[in-house]
Structures are given as structure tokens and as C-alpha cells.
Chain A
Amino acid sequence: MTDDHQLRVSKIQNGTVIDHVEAGQALNVLAILGIDGTSGETVSVGMNVPSDRLGRKDIVKVEGRELSQSEVDVLSLIAPAASINIVRDYEVVEKSRVVRPETVSGVVSCPNRNCISNADEPITSGFAVLSDGVRCDYCGAIVREKEIAANLDVS
């Protein structure tokens, strides 16, 4: 049990711990971060971990990576209760809750294939953040929270 426990919560040296992710969203968090296992980062994922606050939660630890603001913005859309812990030399140096932005730009693609933002035009996709999703600045299409992960425009 001890080994298993240590494995699950083992500390990272430098990087980011994304905690209090809604259960079931961990793989989408990895998708937002563009992590598919081929780029070499050491990643630990806990799924359906018991949580006082959420009942069950997912947790993602990424070694050697600190999140950009745009990544945090999108994270907030699929994991509104998430907390971001920046770790340097095994210590948490920065701890913050995600804050839903009013807009997100360049990280979600419009699911409407006929939207001008999907054409070859010199613009970046942009969305207004609603209470339960986002809305395309161009065609007005509404993407519900649970559909956002399928429309991420991150590489």
C-alpha cells in the first residue's frame, strides 16, 4: 500500500501539478497541453482519485513544463475547479485556482466547418466564454463545455 501511495502522489522536481480536475477530464487536460506521449515529458495521471472537495477528481503532473496563460484559460473551461501548482525544485512555488476568462483565442476551433474562422483567412479563432460553454466570435456557434475537448486547436 505504501509503495502504491507513494507512486500515486510522488513529487515532481520541476513542473506543474494540475489538481482538482473534474473526474474523467484528465485525458482532455493532456490534450490541451498537447501531450500525447511522444514529446518526452514525464507525466503522471491520477484518475478518479478520492477528493474531499469533488468526491472524485483527476490529477495531472507534468515534469519540466509550466503552463502558459492560454493553456490555463482553456483548462478553466473543462476543469473549472482545477488548481495549478507550479513546482520548482520539489517545492510548490505558486498555487492558483483557474479563473474563467471572458474570451479565449486561438485554442479552440469552431466546430462549424462552414465558419469563416476555419477558412484560409488571416484571423485567429476567438470565443466568448458563456456560463456553460463558449461561443464563436465569427459564426456565433455555441460549443458546450463537454464538447470543448473535442474541438481543441492545440498541437
Chain B
Amino acid sequence: MKVPVSWLKEFIKVPFEVGDLAHRLTMAGTEVASISEIGSDWDGVCVGLVLAVDSHPNADRLRLVTVDSGSGTAEVVCGAPNVAPGQKICYARIGACLVDGHTGEPAVLKPARIRGVVSSGMVCSEKELGLSDEHEGILVLPESAPVGTPLRDYLGETVLDLEVTPNRPDMLSVTGVAREAGALMGKPARVVDPEFAGTGKAIESELAIDIEAPDLCPRYTASLIKGITISDSPEWLKRRLVNAGMRPINNVVDVTNYVMLEYGQPLHAFDFDKLSGARIIVRRAREGQVFVTLDGAERKLTGEMLMICDSKGEIAIAGVMGGANSEVVPDTTSILLESASFNPASIHYTSSKLGLSSAASQRFERGQSPFLTLPALNRATQLILEVAGGEAAQGVIDMAPGLNPRQPVLVSTARINSLLGTNYPEEEIIDALVLLGCSVKSCPASRELAVTPPEWRSDINLGADVVEEIARIKGYGDIPMTMLAKSIPHQSPSPMLSFKHRLREAMVGLGFQEILNWSMTNTGALSKALNQPELSVRPLYLKKPMTLDQECLRTSLRPGLFSALASNRRFEDSEIQLFELGTVYLPAGAGLPEEPQMVGGIIGSPQVKRHWSEETRPFDFYDLKGKVEALLAYLGVNPSFEPSEDSGLKPGSQAVVVVKHVPVGVIGEVDQQAGRAFEIDEPVYYFEIDITRLLPLTVGDRQYQPIPRYPAVVRDIALVMDNTVKHRQVEEIIAGFPLVVETRLFDIYTGKPVPAGKKSMAYRLTFQSRKKTLTDDAVDRVLEQILARLSSGLGAVLRR
């Protein structure tokens, strides 16, 4: 909302400093985004009087204008068609700073000889003054403009640009801002109730109004003016509108806009002669009907939209835009002026459904006060009579089926102070509320105040609203600062938070960089990453995605991690290790989706030699497996790895991660096709673990194990067995024997002298007892049994 300060001053009768006012407004809830000074750069421009206009000796289109500048006369060459003797104009002397009419850049006016005649200065257009783009003719000032006055003093303006919050429709008006400003400065604004002289027939004899949808139209007021002349508005009116950011159109439309800006009450003027049946009907639209608004566009209506109609049909979309069929045009002579209140939600619905937001709809959807309709109607009628002539019918029509008298809000001083943490005495509270225009009655019996908010404020309805008003007037800075005094509430913190924290730290320790990806992805990316032409889990789609590559919610972390590896590979030739810990979204019937927390990690090998001292080896499956084992060991669980068939991972090079018989994730080499779909042309290894599923498996009674008191005995054995025998089979047999506390595979060998089809596996076994020092004999006896079992069970023989 742009508020010209000169307009404010019509209602604030005490002097004030604009910067101070802007600060007060900002602190009290309406931020002043900027203060602009129109005319601050007009140096050397003053009000001039055109004494004579003569033709230019050498050019048909140019004229010689003699200007009285207050301090002498000057002869100026002027090309404007509208210049005439007796006009008050804006005269710029040599050296003045103006906007160059051609380049639009600021320029200093230099003496010039135009077609052989010296021009001492210039008569300015609006464009040269930076007021608008109008440059066809010169700007003509009112006759009352005092000759010689610097233009800055005469036409200059300070404009506040306010960011109005949705709860304050009153701040979308000059009187509302003036009232707020007055309250904040301790000197209430003065807004006089306007009146007009109706000298025609009684309005009831000319017009009838029917409100068929009172739920959507609590109040409808109207006046009627006949015999008007449509023309341009006077300069002062146009200037105000332009400074407030609106475009002048004609005197009647300009007045409706002017009064809307002044009171915050939108008005609409209908061409009365175009109405059928001298009747206004306020009703809902017919579903599917098409209506042409005054911008010429066809609008398809729904049955929930409120319309203004005459006896034949629709003439306006209530509160949003008028119709082309009842528009005020240059030869209009009679107008019906509408000033009404509409249901805010209904206007919001209509305006967003039609994609049609107007200055009027913005005020209605915020709930402008229905008490303002009548003062605004009176003011607009009076102004139209003033600027467009004509005769107003006597009286106004005021139908108010939904207008209820203001109910006082009951709130106690104690309640106010206990919510604010203050000790304001009752008198101070009452003073603050009165400044705001409330009427306050103290009820000693109930120790409550009955606060009736002023008519222009529709947003004060609860005790809490009154509390905010007190705080705003007193200033938020006036409220003390205290710490929460009561004891800290009982807490039952989710183990997931600390679990995620530990997990992230472990990942970082294992060399993974954390990344965060969008929650949104697309079918194609999921399908490529999972290598599933048809996704096995259908993701949740957005109704209206911002872009097609973010059309659904991710069901997997893979697309994000794969893309990230590929994009970093463009500049990173060392190893890349990335992880993300985040939510995936799995549809779950009719309810909200499941949102399991997943961790996913991907590793790509170094592409170059990493260090001067040693050869660099590419990653393989066991690099990633080692990291996953370390991660899970850090989290206190011991996983097993089982065969798996994940379509996105390379067959025969992948495993399911199982913890306490629960599959919690997968690990493996990324399938070449999936990798290539993301422009990854190297072997990469990926794992993911559902940590929502893992978390409960890590919670157990962990007990301290005493440190062994007796020495351990180690034995190294090399076993030759068939290639098909798995390490775990050996491990499980050994683990079945007493005294063995650790089995470590430290070498695998194939080739001579080991026969073809066989391999040699070398293990270090550690034997230890918690009760005594083991003798070599005791260890050897167990070892013999182990070897016998390995031989009988797996055909493994000791390599000598």
C-alpha cells in the first residue's frame, strides 16, 4: 500500500517526522518497506505562467513560449501541442536537472539553439519530471498554482510503501493508516464523516435492491447520480492516484479508486441506464455460466461465486470485477454507485478460482469492516458531484441483513498483564485502547474491561487481540525479558535423534561426505536407478509439480546419490564417497505415507595415483563391505550378509544386510546399466540401510565383559578345500568348538602347488580360557578335533 504523506496530513493535524512515523508503524506491525521522495531531484524547476505563445519562424511544429517564472520572463522553444497562454506550467531554467526525454537518463539542461532560436529553459512534460511516461504534452498545473514557487514545494510528495499483513484491511486505506499513526503518536487522527446533498427524487423510487444470498453479502449500500459528465479527473485527483500507484481513467472511476484508497472500502460504479428493471439482485452465479468482465475476458463461473445482477442477468462479479455490459463509458450520464460488504472467504475463493486478483478483492478477502460502506458511499457521492457534476438522488439504499452491532470483548487487566508479563495499571490500559479508538467500560464487579473496538477495525475479536493492541501501543520493547521459570517438563527423547547423530558421525569417520538431496524426484530417475522398467513401489505424485523432474516423492535415495557421484566426477579424480541420511516416502493405503529414515552411501574409486609412496588400488566390493561392517559394529550390531536379488545391483556382486534375522538393507556393485543411466562409467559400490528398521535391533542390554585374565594362544592353519566352500562354512564349524575366541582369515591362495579347483585359506585361531592358562596340549587337542570336523564336513585338509 502506497501512502502519500500529504494525504495522511489531511487526517493528522499535528506535525510529525516521516522517518519517526515509519519506525513506529514498522514496530507496531506494518512494515514500511521504503520511503520515496517524489521531486527531491527537481532543482531549478518552478511554477511558471505562459504569457504568450507565438509561432516559430523556422518550424511549423515548434512554438515560442514566453514564460513568467516569478523572477523574470524567459523565451522557450516548445514542441508540445497543448501549450496555451494563461496556463500554469512547470518551467525548468538552464542548469535544471531533468530526465532526458529520449534516453530516460537524468541530464542537466543546457542552453540550446533550436532551429535558429535560443531557448532559455524548458516547459516540462511528466516524463521529464520523472512523474510518468507521459511526454506527448506538457504538464498543466491548476490555476491556483503560485508562480515562482519551486515545483518541489508545490508538487513534491513523500510516499510510504507499507507491507500490510493479512489481518489489517484497515491499513489498506489512508484513513486507516492515519488512525494507526495517530494512535502510535498519541494524537488520534481526525476523520470527519462525509455527507452529500441529494437533491433529486428519493432513491427508493428509482431503484430496488434484493439480497438473495445474505450469507455472502452482509451489507449492500448504493447511491444514484444522474446528469454527470464523464471527463478526465482534475489534476490533484490524478496526482494522488498516481502517487498511490494507480492509473487515472476517468473522473467517476478515479473517484471510486480514490475513495477505496482513502477508506479501504472498494466501490463500483454501474452505468445506470444500462441496467434492466432498475433493480439490483445479489445472488450466486449459475454453474458453468460464462460472463464477460470489463477487461473483455470471458470468465467461467461456478455456482459458489457471488454475482451482482439486474433483472435480466449478471452485471458484475461481486467484489472482484465489474462486467463489460454495465461499464461506465465516456457517454455515460447516470451512475449507480455500489458500496457493499462481501463474505471474505467467498471473494477469496472467486478471485483465486478465476485467477483474478484486484485492489478490491484484496480488501474484501481480508475482511474490510462493513461499517465503512456508508461513509465511503457518502464520500464518493460527494466527490463525484464535485468532479463530474450531476444531481444525486435523495438518500441512499442500505440493506444490511448481516450487519451485527459490535460486541464488546471482555478481558481483565490481570489477564492482559499475565499474558504479557507486565504490570500495567488499568488506567494505562484503558488509555492505550482509547487511543486506538476503542470504547472501554470498566466492570468493577467482574473486574473485566468491556472493550468495543472501533468500527474500522474488523480484526479485534478476542481477548488475545486486545492484548496485542496493548503491546503494540506500549511497544514490544517495553515488555520485560524473563526466562521460563517453571521446572523443565518431563522428556522422553526419541532414540532416533541420537541414533542418527551417531550414524552421521560414523559415516564421516569412514570417509563419507554428507549430501542432502531434494525429497522430490521423478519416475524416470527412480526407474533408472532401481533398474525397474515398472516401479515395484509406486511413489506419491504431486498434483501440480513445479517441474516435471520433481513430480513425485522419492521412494529411494539412489537417484540423488547416483547423480551426485556423476556430477562430482566431472572435476574430482580422487575417490568419491558420499552419503545421505534422509526420509523416503512409501505410500501406505489411505493414510499418510510411511516415512522411514534411510542411510545410503556410494563409493567411486580414485582415478589417479593417490600418493607418492604407494600404488593406488581401485575399490571393490570388500571396501564397501568393510565400511558397512565398521558402521554396524560402531552402532553395536553384528550383521550377516545373505545372497540377494536387487535389480539395481550387479548380479552375483551384492548382498542383503541382515541383523538379528531382519533384512535391513542391501550392499553391492551398482548394475552397469543403472550406473550408465546416470552417466557413471566406472564401477561404483552402493549400500542402503533402513535405519527406522535397524534402530530397534540395536537396542539391547549391553553388558560389560570382563577383560580376560589368562593369556591367549594362537595357531595358524592353512586349509586346502574346494573353491565352492564359503568362508562362513569354515567359520561356523570353528565357532562351534570351545575355547576358540576369534577366527581370522588372513590369506587366500590359489595356484601351484594347490590343485586346480581348490583354494588354500589361512586362518589364525585364538584360544583363550576365562578360567586358566591354556597348555599347548589342551589347545592342540581342540585343534585336532577342529581339523577333523573341517575335513569330514567340508573336505578341507591341512596344508603342510
Tell whether A pairs with B: no
